[in-house]
Structure 1
Amino acid sequence: MPGTRKVAVVVPWHGYGARVLAGISRFARQHPQWVLHLVQSDSPVLYDDLKEWQPDGIISSLLDTADPVEIPHYRRPWVCILARPDDRRRPFVTIDEDAVGRMAAEYFAERGLRSFAFIGNREHEFSIQRAEAFEHALNEQGYACDTFLYRTRFYSQTRRERVNIDRRKRKWLEQMEKPAAVFACNDWEAFQFIQFCRQQEYRVPEEFAVLGAGNDEMLCHVCNPPMSSVRIPFERVGYEAAELLDQRLDQRKQEQRGHELPPMGLVSRQSTDVFRVGDAVVAKALDFIREHLTEPIKVEDLLRHVFVSRTLLERKFKTELGRTPLVEIRRQRIVRARQLLADTDESILEIAEKCGFSSDIRLSTVFKEITGQSPSQYRRRVRVT
């Protein structure tokens, strides 16, 4: 076919890889000249396959090899995904891991938890980056983080390695102050950790509130209890990588060679369904806010519910959460609005009504005050169009 563009896509065909592929496929449907060739990232004949097919361009993450000169993507247009290539001239699309770590830290701190931990694998650069960002964000708020990083490849793990890791993990859990907020580097790690807690007869979320990253719907719902997770824009990674490669194949000027995409929000499920607040009045007020978030409630409604003066309620909120009741109402509404903007096609007016705002203009005003961007700008930023 004249003008055909042969593009090799080297990703795993499961988990996050399937979602990256969905983004690339969406771009390919919009550009019929694209012909995709899929190669499993762990294929034993990966390089032979690429050499035989002779693609015009390649989308892949960094590939392990003893002889990088022999890799076809070093001699053809190549866009790296989910990693930063050493060669700064290479275009890439990856995740803003600092933003992922900060989001997790803020989420747990807002729930009143004061003991924090991170679990991950040293074999993965994203795991190290998320651990550092999570710990740094907590340090800024005056909290410490107990980090547990092991080093092993899961699929080649020996029984001896597993026994040793489990022994260290048991000791780690025993020494941790409870209840503790545990952020895992990804959903699979969070799933394993929750299973391990159950085996050791620890309660989730009462003793360990566990948060993953990736929002793998199947894994999150198979988990018992259902698992909370940071939403990572894997589909958008694929789409933007395809856009960058298309620009390279056209030899068009690229405004940006590197794209770092922010997380799309956070889905809260039962594994983090705990709110640690020492003051009974504040706890009662927070329950009221969550239950009536879709209504246009005001601080006066809270006062009628908890039977204390405004001055006392504000002082208690400041002591427990570091913010006023009004700020907490607005914060929870914006969290809900972010989720609806990312997950639905509902209009700004419809979202405003579901988040307790009097109008779409009011939502837009508060949204911009808190996030620095309008609802429409946020929606475009987190979604593939």
Structure 2
Amino acid sequence: MPESKKVAVVVPWHGYGRNILLGVSRFVHEHPEWVLHLIQSDSPVLEEDIRQWNPDGIISGLLDTELGTSDYRYKRPWVSVLVQPDDSDALFVTLDEDAVGRLAAEYFLDRRFTHFGFLGNSEQEFSTQRAEAFEYALAEQGFECSSLLYPTKFYDADKHRRVGIDRRKLKWLKSLPKPVAVFACDDWEAFQFIQFCRQQGIRVPEDVAVMGVGNDELLCNISNPPMSSIRSPEERVGYDAAAMLDAVLSGRQPRQKKRFLPPVGMLSRQSSDVMQVDDPVVSKALKFIQDHVSEPIKVEDLLRHVFVSRTLLERKFRAELGRTPLVEIRRQRVRLARQLLSDTDLSISEIAESCGFSSDIRLSTVFKELTGQSPSAFRKEIKVPASLHEL
């Protein structure tokens, strides 16, 4: 049996941290020589715990400075997860924050919003990166975004600071023209903001549509209304970080020292499930598409549902959405296919049938046309690999 490798994993034991641990555990099951030591990222004796256990390598969701000794990482192999160290030689696996911001903008633009806001943490780099990407993607389409970033470090512990921040938040919320789409930096921020809106008598999603990041199922489902969220590939992050560290511990050069993973997709729930469409015919047609997207519906089915001619319906769709009913049906089907590709192990043929496509070939053609990659390539990119050889 190969010599054991002692690895410390320093991440939160809740939310995204649990998913990272799941990815690491997948790797450990394939490599029994790995011995894990799990350390809470907010442990009061964090640095002492690491030193006493003396691991061969570390997987960490903390910056060097958060350990208290900035040069500690240089004493042993270290892979950062979901944070990007300043050191140009550092190994890390993280989320593509630009892609996160763009996806949020595309989602809200697709729903015809014209007013936008961003709510986030001024102390976290990922939050500012998501804000900048969101603002830039909107600016490319000619829209502005009102952003509120505030320090959250002492929000819960300091009553006076909390009152001051809540006043700023309320002033900002009232200043936003309604209806407005608000992108929050993460699920916790989105969850708190939804409750804040309800306390102020502001309707979600009718007045304010809200979206978070992380798809924390507990927060998303206890939220009232249930919360939309961008799904990030934390399990893949954990697996890839473990594979990267194992290469170093084995004396090999990792294929990539810096790895940016795209978001898996968007899980739309009630907090943002609204379309800003004035035309009642288009609104009725869109609702029909959403309700029957898994069926092999055609434009003719829409015509029978809304009682207008094809020419008139296409003209109305182009005026409201800038695309035809047929293109909208395909977009909705591809969105469902992306979700099934990431969440299930269904074959491409089974997914094609579940999304209303006539065949897997037709699914592949439309999927590549709209996303730029095949269904198989998309699944390979976001799924945890079946083996190290796939990395």
TM over 0.5: yes
Aligned twin of 1:181 = 181
Which stretch shifts more, 28-37 or 364-373?
364-373
Quote the sequence identity (%).
66
Q: Which residue of 2 aligns with 1:91?
A: 91
**Counterpart for residue 77 of structure 1:** 77
Q: Which stretches in structure 1 are left out of the alignment for 5+ residues?
A: none
**CA shift at 1:25, angstroms?**
1.2
Deviation at 1:326, TM superposition (A): 1.4
Q: Secondary structure at the match of 1:271?
A: coil
Task: Measure how far apart 1:147 and its partner are.
Answer: 0.6
Structure 2 CA distance for partners of 1:301 and 1:53, relative to 1, 3 Å: same
Aligned to 2:288: 288
Distance in 2 between residues matched to 1:2 and 1:274, nearest whole Å: 56
Deviates more, 1:180-189 or 1:36-45: 36-45
* Cα offsets for 1:86-124 (capped at 9, x unmatched): 222121100001111111111111112221111011111
2:341 is matched with 341
Alpha-carbon offset, residue 255 of structure 1: 2.1
CA 1:350–1:192: 2 relative to 1, 3 Å: same
Partners of 1:179 and 1:266 in 2: how far apart?
21
Determine whether 1:21 maps to 2:45: no
2:301 maps to 301
1:1-385 alignment runs, 5 A limit: 3-61=3-61, 62-63=63-64, 64-65=66-67, 67-69=69-71, 71=72, 73-154=73-154, 157-385=157-385
**Which structure 2 residue ranges, 5 or more long, are not aligned?**
386-391
What is the rounded CA distance, in whole Å, between the counterparts of 1:222 and 1:285 in structure 2? 30
Q: How far apart are 1:345 and its partner, in Å?
A: 1.0
1:156 Cα offset (Å): 5.8
Q: 1:349 to 1:2 in 2, by over 3 A?
A: closer
AA matched with 1:329: I
Aligned residues: 383
Deviations 1:124-158 (A, max 9, x none): 11111111111111111221111111123046641
C-alpha distance in 2 between matches for 1:195 and 1:278: 28
| Secondary structure of 2:271's aligned partner | helix
Q: Distance in 1 between matches of 2:23 and 2:69?
A: 30
Output the TM-score relative to the length of structure 2: 0.95
Q: Tell me the distance in 2 between the aligned counterparts of 1:179 and 1:290.
A: 22
- The structural deviation recorded for 1:184 is 0.6
2: CA distance, partners of 1:103 / 1:154: 30
**1: CA distance between counterparts of 2:223 and 2:77?**
41
Which whole-Å deviations, capped at 9, do the CAs of 1:291-350 have from their partners, x for residues lacking one? 221222222332333233333322221221121211111101000000011111111111
| Cα distance in 1, alignment partners of residues 192 and 156 from structure 2 | 16
Q: Which moved more, 1:156-165 or 1:5-14?
A: 156-165
Whether contact under 8 Å (2:180, 2:209) holds in the other structure is yes
Q: Deviations over 1:30-71 (max 9, x none)?
A: 1000000111112222112111211111111313255413x2
- Equivalent position amino acid for 2:76 in 1: R
Point out the more displaced range, 242-251 or 279-288: 279-288
Cα gap change, 1:77/1:309 in structure 2, threshold over 3 Å: closer, same or farther? same
CA–CA distance in structure 1, aligned partners of residues 318 and 131 of structure 2: 29
- For 1:102 and 1:206, how far apart are their aligned partners in 2? 23
**In 2: Cα distance, 1:279 partner to 1:78 partner:** 56
